[in-house]
Structure 1
Amino acid sequence: MKYKISHDTQYTFSTPVFPEPHYLRLRPQVTPHQRVDAFALHISPTPTGISHLRDGENNLIDFCWFDGEHNHLRIRAESLVTIAEHNPFHFILYPDTALTLPFSYTDQQRKVLHTALLAAPIGADLLAYGQRLLAAAHFQTTNFLTQITREIQADFTSIYRETGPPLPPDQTFTDRVGSCRDLSWMLIHLLRTMGLAARFVSGYNYIDADDPEFELHAWVEVFLPGAGWVGFDPTHGLVAGMSHIPLVASADFENTMPVSGTIRGSARSTLTSTLVIERLG
């Protein structure tokens, strides 16, 4: 699959402000199945400088800085991405102890995965929901992860929430309603509580529809011994595959924001964003 992506983000300020340096997380990842054929950033006002860096979790970030005061900040990211046809279940779990839950990571793995294992406290009802599905999957790791991803899609109502951090996991569970980031954040902390390393992924999801409305999407990756990071999308009840285009992954959702930075000034700001994804073949 080849995709052409145009992602336009604009902040308009009521009075001129001085933009502090900004981090941009809009560059698609290069993975064993995903190739970035072209990528370009168009930024207004023109930055004084821009650098490319790897963050602490090995995500590729564009870092830009500015001079002077401005009444807007517009960032347009244009990408051309190819995703090779592949089977997302083409892996084995190794050693065999990872075939069933609970299992233990090695000491070395736990050191590397430390932040992805830090679970926020969750209520007994949410934990019981996970344990019920684990028993129904006969404690088999892959079956459980697939089933809980499907169950969340069936049991919860997905809504669009343009801004704001993910809601607390227990609130999402009680309300049975959430955005993609709410459902992902809930699943992440449930899995961490059950002993699995899980992280938050921000990216794009292509929907084949007559008149699709695209938005930035969030899903979950779980570290499985022998397989590495495997993606699960609780919003759509799917294992992440050829329609998922990851940008950045982190143990903390705050490190996946597409644009982050501050301004000097007391102006009011208005955010507008448009995303267009075309499948070219």
Structure 2
Amino acid sequence: MKLKITHTTTYAFNSEVFLEPHYLRFRPRQTAYVDINEFSISIVPEPSGHKIIQDEENNVVDFCWFDGVTSNLSITVESILETKPFNPFDFILEPQSYNQIPFEYDESKKKLLFPYLDGLPIAQELIDYGTAIIEKAEFNTIHFLTQLTNQLHKDFTVEYREDGAPFLPEHTFEIKRGSCRDLSWMLINLLRQQGIAARFVSGYYYFDMIVPAFELHAWVDVFLPGIGWLGLDPSHGILTGNTHFPIATSSHYENTMPVSGGIRGSASSKLITELQIEKI
């Protein structure tokens, strides 16, 4: 399957501002099951400097700086992706000790995975929620991860919220609803409490709809030896497959924001986004 993704992000300011340097995260990642055939980015106003860099967690980022003042910032990206057949369950865990929870990463992995194991304190009720599913899964790692992801989908209502930081995990758990990033941030911190390395993922998710209405999506990756990073989508209750297209991953959601940068000026701004994904 071949897809065309067109994503436009516009900040409209009510007076002119000077744009500080900006980090833009819009480039889909090449994976074993998705080829990036084409990518283009258009930025208005045109930057005076533009460099493609890798950040601390190996995300590919467009770093831009500007001259002069402007009343808007608009970024339009177009990507052509081609998917390959993919079975998310085609794996084994090695060493086999990782098949049972609790497990512990070896010392070398602990050092590399430390940012993805460092979780927030969470409410006992949320811990108990996870523990009950571990017991139901008979302490089997993959059964636990799949059942937990599916149970979150059943127990929580997914809401669209265009901007704002994710809620604290205990708040999302208490109100039983939230955006994809709220559910993902809660799941990450629950998994870290169980000693499982987890990271935040920002990207696109495609599925057939009668009336297409796509948005930037968030999900979770966990690290398991023998598999590497395995994707869990609590909003849909599934393991990620070849219709999930990651853009940025990080131990903290702040480092996956599509646009990061400041302004000089006293203007307020309005965010306008448009995302289209179509088969070609």
The verdict on a shared fold, with TM-score over 0.5 as the criterion, is: yes
Alignment-derived partner of residue 267 in structure 1: 267
Give the CA deviation at 1:34: 1.7
Quote the Cα distance in structure 1 between the aligned partners of 2:14 and 2:156. Answer: 39
1:80 and 2:93 are equivalent in the alignment: no
Question: What is the deviation of 1:279?
Answer: 2.1
Residue of structure 2 in register with 1:215 after alignment = 215
Q: Which residue of 2 aligns with 1:248?
A: 248
Give the structure 2 partner of residue 234 of structure 1: 234
Alpha-carbon deviation of 1:82? 1.4
CA distance in 2, matches of 1:105, 1:278: 41
1:120 aligns with 2:120: yes
CA deviations 1:8-54 (Å, max 9, x no partner) are: 00011111100001000000011122211000001100110110111
Counting only pairs closer than 5 Å after superposition, residues 96-111 of structure 1 correspond to structure 2 as 96-111=96-111
Alpha-carbon distance between aligned partners in 2 of 1:9 and 1:94, rounded to the nearest angstrom = 42
Moved runs in structure 1, 4+ residues, more than 4 A? none
Equivalent AA in structure 2 for residue 161 of structure 1: R
Which amino acid is the alignment partner of residue 153 of structure 2?
Q
Match of 1:178 in 2: 178
- TM (norm. structure 2) is 0.99
Corresponding residue number in structure 2 for 1:16: 16
Q: For 2:9 and 2:90, locate their aligned partners in 1 and report how far apart those are by CA, in whole Å.
A: 36
Counterpart of 2:30 in 1: which secondary structure?
Answer: coil
Matched, 1:66 2:73: no
Distance in structure 2 (CA, Å) of the matches to 1:207 and 1:160: 17
Give the deviation of 1:207 after TM superposition: 2.0
1:60-107, Cα deviation, whole Å (9 max, x unpaired): 111011100001100001101112111011111000100111111011
Displacement after TM superposition at 1:218 (Å): 0.1
TM-score, length basis structure 1: 0.99
SS at match of 2:23: strand
Once the two structures are superposed, residues 127-166 of structure 1 have per-residue CA deviations (whole angstroms, 9 ceiling, x without a partner) of 0000000000011001110000000000000000111000
CA RMSD of aligned residues (A): 0.6
- Aligned to 1:196, what secondary structure does the other structure show? coil
Show the counterpart of 2:199. Answer: 199
Distance across 2 between alignment mates of 1:50 and 1:85: 35
Provide the C-alpha distance between the structure 1 equivalents of 2:243 and 2:31, rounded to a whole number of angstroms.
14
Write out aligned runs for 1:25-174 (5 A). 25-174=25-174
CA distance in 2, matches of 1:12, 1:134: 48
**Identity rate of aligned residues, in percent?**
51
Q: Give the Cα–Cα distance (whole angstroms) in 2 for the partners of residues 222 and 213 of structure 1.
A: 28
In the alignment, residue 40 of structure 2 is paired with which amino acid? Answer: A
Amino acid across the alignment from 1:278: E
SS at match of 2:150: helix
Supply the distance in 1 between the matched residues of 2:250 and 2:90 (Cα, whole angstroms). 24
